[in-house]
């Protein structure tokens, strides 16, 4: 596991965008696993800039998003579908047919989950998975639990997650209580994983993820077992890590 310490959100995002760009230069038809939330926003902005100004090509890129709220349609501004098109896909030269996001309005939840897993498998699996982390240590919407859920599944969101994500909605009551999420096995099968974390609210979850026991109570802790994870972390989120690494504060430090 590599840990890259960056001084702020912008530097974290730039570093992440460069890794994604490097992946696409090496393999233009890469399968990317994509995350939503506030964390990757500036990374998407930088990738859009690279697409426009540096010829970064998405024409062969295939994407699978981690999750979607149940009950929100594509036109709902709080759906992850809307987020992805608004913040990324509408601004790059990606093919619509190469974009995959779980449906927020599935007719049959089990079938939708199975279909999503089948599509990922048919695409050859994920080459590079981008992850944010929830304040409770979730990845995608894999919430703390007594077991790891392997494949795409329906989740009942934790109260903590609902509260944390309420900032995007007019009222906390509007936050959906269920979501579909890619499972831990699929995430762990990604060839490379990029975990981004910024802000003091993530410090404790990140510390438990990297240095705590591997437990479904901190879903992201399973990443300790993956052979190619890069964690890009900004100062505030790194607060507890730095203490653990005897204050190795240099940018680009690898642990």
Pairing type for strands 229-234 and 2-6 reads: parallel
Cα 34 to Cα 37, 78, 90, distances in angstroms: 10, 16, 15
Catalytic residue among 136, 142, 165, 198: 136
Q: How many angstroms separate the CA atoms of 78 and 9, rounded?
A: 23
CA distance 195 to 179: 21
Set 138, 158, 198, 235: catalytic member:
138
3-state secondary structure of 238: coil
* Residue 98: active-site member: no
Residue selected from 104, 134, 176, 183 as contacting ligand GLP according to rule CB under 6 A:
134
The residue from 67, 68, 127, 158 that is catalytic is: 67
Region binding ligand GLP by CB under 6 A among candidate stretches 43-51, 95-103, 130-138, 229-237: 130-138
Q: Contact region for ligand GLP (CB under 6 A) — 19-27, 32-40, 71-79, 204-212?
A: 32-40
**Distance separating alpha carbons of residues 138 and 206, to the nearest angstrom:** 10
Angstrom distance (rounded) from CA 140 to CA 143 = 8
Please confirm, yes or no, whether 234 is among the known catalytic residues.
no
Look-up: residue for tokens 């300790």? 224
- Closer of 6 and 165 to ligand GLP (Cβ): 165
Choose which of 165, 186, 209, 230 interacts with ligand GLP (CB under 6 A): 165
117 catalytic per annotation: no
Q: How far is the CB of 171 from ligand GLP (least distance, A)?
A: 17
Element (H, E) at 187: helix 184-189
Distances (CA, A) of 93 to 56, 86, 99, 243, 254: 9, 14, 12, 43, 34
- Integer Cα distance of 233 and 3 in angstroms: 7
Q: Is 176 in the site for ligand GLP (CB under 6 A)?
A: no
User: Measured from the CB of residue 196, what is the shortest distance to ligand GLP in angstroms?
Assistant: 8
User: For ligand GLP, which residue of 23, 161, 186, 218 counts as binding (CB under 6 A)?
Assistant: 161
93 SS3 class: coil
Cβ atoms of 36 and 69 within 8 Å: the answer is no
- Residues of this chain, 33-62, that bind ligand GLP according to CB under 6 A: 35-39
> Is 136 marked active-site?
yes
> Rule CB under 6 A: which residues touch ligand GLP?
35-39, 66-67, 132-134, 140-141, 161, 165
User: What residues are labeled active site?
Assistant: 67, 136, 138, 143
């Amino acid at each position: 596991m590599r840990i890259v310490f960056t001084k702020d959100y912008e530097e974290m995002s730039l570093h992440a965008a460069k890794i994604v760009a490097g992946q696409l230069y090496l393999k233009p038809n890469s399968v990317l696993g994509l995350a939503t939330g506030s964390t990757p926003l500036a990374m998407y902005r930088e990738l859009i800039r690279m697409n426009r100004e540096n010829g970064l090509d998405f024409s062969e890129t295939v994407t699978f998003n981690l999750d979607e709220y149940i009950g929100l349609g594509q036109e709902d501004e709080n759906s992850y579908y809307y987020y992805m098109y608004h913040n990324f896909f509408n601004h790059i030269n990606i093919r619509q047919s190469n974009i995959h996001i779980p449906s927020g309005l599935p007719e049959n939840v089990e079938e939708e989950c199975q279909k999503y897993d089948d599509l990922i498998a048919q695409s050859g699996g994920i080459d590079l998975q981008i992850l944010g982390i929830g304040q409770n240590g979730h990845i995608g919407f894999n919430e703390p639990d007594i077991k790891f859920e392997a494949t795409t599944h329906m989740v009942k969101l934790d109260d903590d997650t609902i509260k944390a994500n309420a900032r995007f909605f007019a009222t906390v009551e509007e936050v959906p209580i269920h979501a579909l999420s890619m499972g831990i096995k699929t995430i762990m099968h990604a060839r490379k994983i990029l975990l981004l974390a910024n802000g003091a609210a993530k410090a404790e979850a990140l510390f438990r993820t990297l240095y705590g026991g591997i437990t479904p109570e901190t879903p992201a802790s399973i990443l300790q077992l993956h052979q190619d994870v890069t964690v890009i972390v900004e100062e505030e989120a790194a607060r507890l890590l730095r203490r653990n690494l005897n204050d190795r504060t240099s940018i680009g430090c690898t642990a």
